[in-house]
Chains A and B, each alone.
Chain A
């Protein structure tokens, strides 16, 4: 195969604009799978991805296509569509030379269309604009064409019209990919360098590296070196997905594929690292990725304290193909040993929690999510606070700053009023409103990140009947009147329940939390006051009445053994409780505080 016949590309789109279906259709046209094998959304491997209809992890597939008598190899590298995963998008885009930008023929440009396009432009990729779902009865092709021209600056004749559902225009799209996306640079003679853009753990073959070959080649039997971790391994197998796994003897410059080299130690591999060979060594690492900074932090604890090691192992495995995941050990008086984990956003947090529970069978408790605050102290020094319990003494704080995000909220203009009301309630600072056309606007606000961490996205959907789309970028830190609010059970502060809140919202938030706790903690042998306080000042209180009855009214010779079994059963139930000071708190109580505000 000639290197000029390789094409490495991604498909980028706003969520639900039909990216995965379009990818399926391309696979079908290139005969990678026949219709019989077709299962919806073939690239979405994880159950979780198919269930939620979103792509989380990347996947690379090699396709063959004959065009004008020449054989071409197309490497399709999938990207996630959600705002939380822009890091993953930039990872996959780094392995590409072109990107197909998909826009829904009925919806038009949405917030993540813009966000993903900007990421692709940062990588200097060739963009092929596509209007998808043209078969929809409510498709409005002229309007969307107009948006692509006016807002994004494409020429109308560049735009390809297609339908992933019917297959119309897909052939034309594949041809456009071959014609417009440049072939990867041919550096087969240069010292070997490959970029690790993903990795996963296989219990038989060890860590598998997904790479884009930039320079030189790698053969089975070569000794590879990971430049950053300075560790060597002998390549045991090489291959690519079509989407079936195909083994090969070598991977050369321009190709995308996987390397297995019996790598047992997960910690030696980091995504973004450069692979070279001892046979054809290079000392110069490729540009990695801009490291994504986690924005949301939460303490994660095993419900059963003795499963701390299992949790640790699980996090190591997740970290392997999710470099954005950061964590450090954390100890809580209430919850014992666990980890403080940094997430890219709330969806990311939700996905990680679900994966811990499903893939690793762990019962976990998560504490209320927090962002990174900056406290400027009276002596002029600055302290970063990613957990309420790291808040310095109030007397030492001059002021506190919190991170704000800059929003792209794209919505029909009729919802401007509702959106502004929502943003104001979330302490947003209005910037401006751009008109995309007569009916659609892009509303810009600066909003504290901590306010969108909870339910902003859900509220936005309900305020706009689902029509608004939302994306954000971190903008700046601004001074805020923030306080640490503690929760006390039976007079003792529960460290795991402390939160940092805006002073004006502390009262209502405190009331909500104590009420939820009262509803979710079972009665104890004594009356338990549940309080929210700022410093020594109690701002909300509920009282959990004392338990009145837990007794076997009847126990005679006839049922002694049975009554004992009943007690043992109750005892089992108690094991699922956490002893917080003198109070038994069920896992659900911690969850209740997190869920539905």
Chain B
């Protein structure tokens, strides 16, 4: 039973140099056609379940005009929402104003995810973004005034040439914004991004590691729970939508380049706008076998610091996780820990998660 919905809005006013998501420059003609197709796709797939988490991401959903947002709002109204639903909307600092916030409020949005990324001018220039601390501060104040009490900010660190002190400064400033949730990502130089094409190199892994540990120490000190590799939240403010994914549960994905997981099939939508507008939504399907599902369970579940509930694992698959995977050596090395029915990666080694997974899968 699907309880989560993701909707992708692939338009941006400006393209960031590191981003490899499905995105394109804003164009009002495309947007209107796109919303038509999106509506059709939803009607096609949605089976009327009660939805507990809804997430509108991008691209930059906040770059849409008022009328476009109103049209989007109408599309969203198709979904039956549970009483305690979580509805996240991604915003760019520059797009935030009282009109937008009012519209989102009316749409039912109760969580904002704001792309800050960094306050450092060198970093911002490299990313082709713009943001000042003062701007972010006043915009977030505005959000609070308008009644939004669940706000996430995104940060990126370990950019090429970045120094330790820059991360320190970024975190200190971010904390002043008092967000309820912080996502901090060590930069991945993805193929086909401007940064990669320009030949930039990742920073030294020792420095990256030092930055990561600093972030964890500082944010935990300030009362944030480190609940996933790159995610921190005030207690009770964890992203329910993303937890649903890391719990390996199914979810709808609508829109260009979106991915979903429905009735045992993981599907990937096309990134080709023409095809999408013609109603050819899906690019590929992956039938998830039991064996493969258990692997996903591990790959996703261990991202959570809390780990995997092995009793629930047993209920779900009728198998003992330790019989399915050979975990002995890793447990002996204390790379993996089993405690109070939870199997989790030693927090000191969470930054080596892939290395650990490679030994299991």
Contacts and interface: CB of A to CB of B under 8 A. Distances in A.
Contacts of B253: 557-558
Contacts of B268: 561-562
Most buried by B among A551, A554, A557: A557
A552 B353 contact: yes
Interface string A531-563: 000000000000001011111111111111111
A564 interface: yes
B300 A560 contact: yes
A548 B253 CA distance: 34
Given A554-B185, A574-B358, A549 B209 contact: yes
A306 interface: no
Contacts of A554: 185, 188, 230
Contacts of B354: 550-552, 567, 570
Contacts of B230: 553-554
Given A556-B242, A558-B6, A547 B259 contact: no
Contacts, number: 95
A563 to B, nearest CB: 8
Interface string B285-298: 01000000001100
A553 B186 contact: yes
Contacts of B21: 558
A551 B205 contact: no
A320 to B, nearest CB: 42
B352 A560 contact: no
Contact of A567 (B260, B299, B350): B299
Contact of A570 (B8, B205, B259, B358): B358
Most buried by B among A552, A553, A562: A553
Given A556-B242, A557-B6, A548 B351 contact: yes
Contact of B259 (A545, A551, A559, A567): A559
Contacts of A547: 205, 352, 355
Given A559-B259, A560-B259, A560-B300, A525 B355 contact: yes
B229 A561 contact: no
Given A560-B300, A564-B296, A553 B229 contact: yes
B206 interface: yes
B352 A550 contact: yes
A552 B350 CA distance: 10
A230 interface: no
B260 A557 contact: yes
Nearest to A558: B259
Most buried by A among B206, B268, B349, B358: B358
B259 A557 contact: yes
Contacts of B251: 557
A564 B354 CA distance: 10
A571 interface: yes
Contacts of A556: 242, 245
B226 interface: no
A561 B259 contact: yes
Nearest to A559: B259
B286 A548 contact: no
A566 to B, nearest CB: 9
B303 interface: yes
A550 B353 contact: yes
Interface in B184-231: 185-188, 205-206, 208-209, 212, 229-230
B139 interface: no
A561 B286 CA distance: 8
Contact of A551 (B8, B286, B350): B350
A548 B205 contact: yes
Interface residues of B, number: 45
Contacts of A549: 186, 205, 208-209, 212, 351-352
B299 to A, nearest CB: 6
Contacts of A571: 358, 361
Interface string B244-285: 010000010100011111000010100000000000000000
Contacts of A562: 268
B358 A551 contact: no
A550 B352 CA distance: 5
A567 B208 contact: no
A506 to B, nearest CB: 33
B357 interface: yes
A473 to B, nearest CB: 53
Nearest to A546: B352
Contact of A548 (B6, B209, B259): B209
Interface string B322-361: 0000000000000100000000000001111111111001
Contacts of B259: 557-561
A545 B229 CA distance: 23
Interface string A109-136: 0000000000000000000000000000
Interface string A245-264: 00000000000000000000
A555 B299 CA distance: 10
Most buried by B among A548, A567, A571: A548
Contacts of A525: 335, 349, 352, 355-356
Most buried by A among B268, B351, B354: B354
Interface in A233-283: none
Contacts of A548: 205-206, 208-209, 351-352
Contact of B303 (A545, A555, A557): A555
Contacts of A551: 186, 229, 350-354
A546 B186 CA distance: 19
Contacts of B257: 558
Interface string B69-106: 00000000000000000000000000000000000000
Nearest to B299: A564
B355 A550 contact: yes
Nearest to B213: A548
Contacts of B295: 564
Most buried by B among A545, A551, A555, A564: A551
A554 to B, nearest CB: 6
Contacts of A567: 299, 354, 357-358, 361
Nearest to A555: B303
Contacts of B299: 563-564, 567
Most buried by B among A550, A555, A560: A560
A518 B186 CA distance: 27
Contacts of B358: 567, 570-571, 574
Nearest to A573: B358
A563 B268 CA distance: 13
A564 B288 CA distance: 12
A560 B245 contact: yes
Contact of A561 (B187, B212, B266): B266
B352 A557 contact: no
A572 to B, nearest CB: 10
B24 to A, nearest CB: 16
B258 A553 contact: no
A547 B348 CA distance: 12
Contacts of A550: 351-355
A558 B8 contact: yes
A555 B352 contact: no
Interface string A554-595: 111111111110010011001000000000000000000000
Contacts of B185: 553-554
A534 B245 CA distance: 55
Contacts of B205: 547-549
Contacts of A559: 259
A556 B260 CA distance: 11
Contacts of B300: 555, 560
Top 4 A-B pairs ranked by shortest CB distance?
A548-B209, A548-B205, A550-B354, A557-B245
22 contacts: A548-B208, A548-B209, A549-B352, A550-B351, A550-B353, A550-B355, A551-B351, A553-B185, A556-B242, A557-B242, A557-B245, A558-B6, A558-B8, A558-B21, A558-B257, A558-B258, A560-B245, A560-B259, A560-B296, A561-B268, A567-B354, A571-B358
Given A548-B351, A570-B358, 5 more contacts: A549-B351, A557-B251, A561-B286, A567-B299, A570-B354
